[in-house]
A and B are shown apart, each in its own frame.
Chain A
């Protein structure tokens, strides 16, 4: 099927097999291998991208369903050579080791900071919750990191979100 995607601000017309996930399309067809495949089943968060500003698991999204959507991957977070503040904070706080979960963590964090609203650990439901370490941990728990970089991930996000 012929579709046109908007990826990192660029129009990408492609002919896709209707079975193909957005993740496989990005990685295998568009050369955007920044988004990672950790499980292909929506269980690890490594494939997290932003679709119209919201964090989405690209392994569970069908490519053909994305016509017209604005997709941002880790390759699109920086403005030219200037890193997104979260990217810079991840480097500064050593918020990764092997780096395989990192693109998903970054896209997830960008989406998370824009979300607002209460989470499962929010005690005061009225008003906007404060971005405590506990809130960050809860909201980032869909992104696994086997290297165990969690404490540094939380520090990096807290610094940017403050």
Chain B
């Protein structure tokens, strides 16, 4: 089905957060900390206030009133302490964007700097065990005797992989347009992946009852996790509008996004595997070191995929966190699984080489009957089918495992495989449905950040009502609509679709309107291991002289429940794989050890895949019938595409060149 908002998007009529026409709008431009740690001695706004068009300057000199329990990244101008370079320490409100930007440069902030620490190290003395990892997984797990398993193994692998800081970089920079009305009610047009949560967190930050806050986010220019919870721009716009007595727009620049909108933590991951000569795993251990800020504890669930992948009688996973003078890391597409599976699936390839077993066969041999860590049965698990189907389609059968021996002109050619997985969960949601003007209207505070949820929910409603999708209109992206969880964790369609289905069933009973709250249904879900799986195959060619890597072909085969819409699903899978190619080959935010923050913070220096980088990327899938998920039988599809990609590419690079790169991204310098 074509996207229901497609016409609006190709004609420029789709309205994103910064684009709502509002009379008398003023502009706010942030001033960012120039030190990574220390104190603000004073803010001198006199020069800025004297500049043309300037309406107000906000800073800790006159802390605006906020709620007592504002999330620390949102508690703007409350403290004199600086937690990281780039933190928002002041802001100028002015009549025009250019006036605000010019005056922001004239705000004088005096600092008392202190020594800072911005580097993650495996032996950092500040590493500790957090109480849980995102969102609520146990920090460590242990089953069986790993030490004994490793000691008794015929083959052991003990390797460390590292992944760098990565930034989500959605194409739409984070933006907020704030309007207060005469009664003290606040409306925010915000770039948000979840307006219900956004409303609650912003109300909490401002110390307002949530009935006084409305967050609207009808179209979102991508988020990939970075718009999952409100960023400082949301609160800043509200404070600036209050100070100026006018509507205010905050549109972060691309450079500011690198500092204040979250990022994927760098990781250092040690993997130890012990196996018999046939490659059957006896012991597996995955230890992760990662970082958070001094403000908020965010512990990425990096090793959690290792708990579900392979049958290992002894299995241990552990996460350790260190709090650095950096911004708070956050969710980036497939948190946990994405960096974690780069390490695990690279290690599986190393094991395949060590035991001389084909990497597809090795994974099949270690496929478990129940979830290895918990012992729970799977609701469905078709990884082996994905691997077999992919091997067939990709032409894997005749593969010569010898590395570095296939040459086409100046190119060395190789192929690689990796598995992927992502949890298939759902969260409580509400929705309503009504007969209106001869059609049906479904209302839910869901988000469409490009995933096609507006279209998918239209289909789900039409299927339930047994009507043509053209008769159904879905309203989303407004916190005044029935409560819904964020677009994240690959839970959107499953959570919202459950509510939409139940609301439509209620409408069928009532004849006029229906409402559903799925809290009870979701809480009654049986305890089962629910995950999507996939197998990803890559062919690369590596320039023997320059080390340039090109991905010539990529195939993903997925088993992700029932697919609601083939067109939308293909775009999600392929888009995830393309982002994974970026992770494999080019994406990296370089930490500025001397000054804090990052040395690269724009799109000229933080490289995303461009059109010319992408040759053939294909996705296919099995339609799984899994009755243990939700009424639609779906698993999430937005994240799994990225999960196995980087390992598949890295394994192909090894096959092409004989070089095992354990440190992403695989830049030419690492191959020369």
Please list the residues of chain A having a beta carbon within 8 angstroms of any beta carbon in chain B: 17, 19-20, 24, 27-28, 31-41, 43-44, 46, 73-75, 77-78, 83, 87-88, 90-92, 94, 96-103, 106, 121, 136-138, 140-154
Contact = CB atoms under 8 A, between A and B. Distances in A.
Given A98-B221, A100-B16, A38 B173 contact: yes
Would you list the 5 A-B pairs with minimal beta carbon distance, nearest first?
Answer: A34-B12, A100-B221, A98-B450, A148-B578, A99-B9
A60 B549 CA distance: 32
Interface string B589-606: 000000000000011100
B602 A83 contact: no
B610 A141 contact: yes
A94 B568 contact: yes
Given A20-B98, A73-B12, A103-B12, A94 B21 contact: no
A60 to B, nearest CB: 13
A35 B18 CA distance: 12
A99 B16 CA distance: 10
B4 to A, nearest CB: 11
A152 B222 CA distance: 17
Nearest to A145: B171
Interface of B: 2-3, 5-16, 18-19, 21, 96-98, 169-173, 219-222, 224, 251, 253-254, 449-452, 567-568, 570-572, 574-579, 602-604, 608-612, 614-617
Contacts of A75: 11-13
21 contacts: A17-B96, A35-B12, A37-B18, A40-B254, A41-B254, A43-B254, A74-B12, A91-B2, A91-B7, A97-B571, A98-B220, A99-B450, A100-B450, A101-B221, A102-B9, A102-B10, A137-B615, A141-B611, A146-B224, A146-B608, A147-B171
Which label, helix, strand, loop or mixed, suits the secondary structure of the A interface? loop
Contact of B612 (A17, A38, A138): A138
B222 A144 contact: no
Given A39-B602, A148-B574, 14 more contacts: A36-B16, A38-B172, A41-B604, A83-B7, A87-B11, A98-B449, A98-B450, A99-B8, A99-B10, A99-B221, A100-B170, A100-B450, A148-B575, A148-B609
Contacts of B11: 34, 74-75, 77-78, 83, 87
Nearest to A38: B171
Contacts, number: 176
B226 to A, nearest CB: 11
Contacts of B576: 148
Contacts of A31: 21
B21 A148 contact: no
B12 A144 contact: no
A45 B583 CA distance: 21
Contact of B579 (A17, A94, A140, A148): A148
B171 A144 contact: yes
A88 B7 CA distance: 8
Nearest to A35: B12
A145 B611 CA distance: 8
B567 A94 contact: yes
Given A39-B602, A140-B611, A146-B171, A90 B10 contact: yes
Contacts of B224: 146
A141 B98 contact: no
A121 B612 CA distance: 10
A142 B612 CA distance: 10
Contacts of A34: 11-13
Contacts of B617: 151
Contacts of A149: 571, 575
Nearest to A41: B602
B603 A39 contact: yes
A50 to B, nearest CB: 13
A150 B578 contact: yes
Contact of B10 (A83, A121, A140): A83
Contacts of B604: 41, 43
Nearest to A40: B253
A78 B571 CA distance: 25
A43 to B, nearest CB: 4
A92 B614 CA distance: 21
A98 B171 contact: yes
Given A33-B15, A40-B254, A87-B11, A146 B602 contact: no
B222 A98 contact: yes
A121 B617 CA distance: 20
A133 to B, nearest CB: 8
Contact of B603 (A19, A28, A35, A144): A144
Contacts of B3: 91, 94, 96
B571 A28 contact: no
Given A87-B10, A94-B568, A148 B611 contact: no
Contacts of B14: 99
Contact of B222 (A33, A39, A90, A97): A97
A33 B189 CA distance: 15
Contacts of A35: 12
Contacts of A27: 18-19
B555 to A, nearest CB: 13
A28 B172 CA distance: 16
Contacts of B614: 137, 148, 150-151
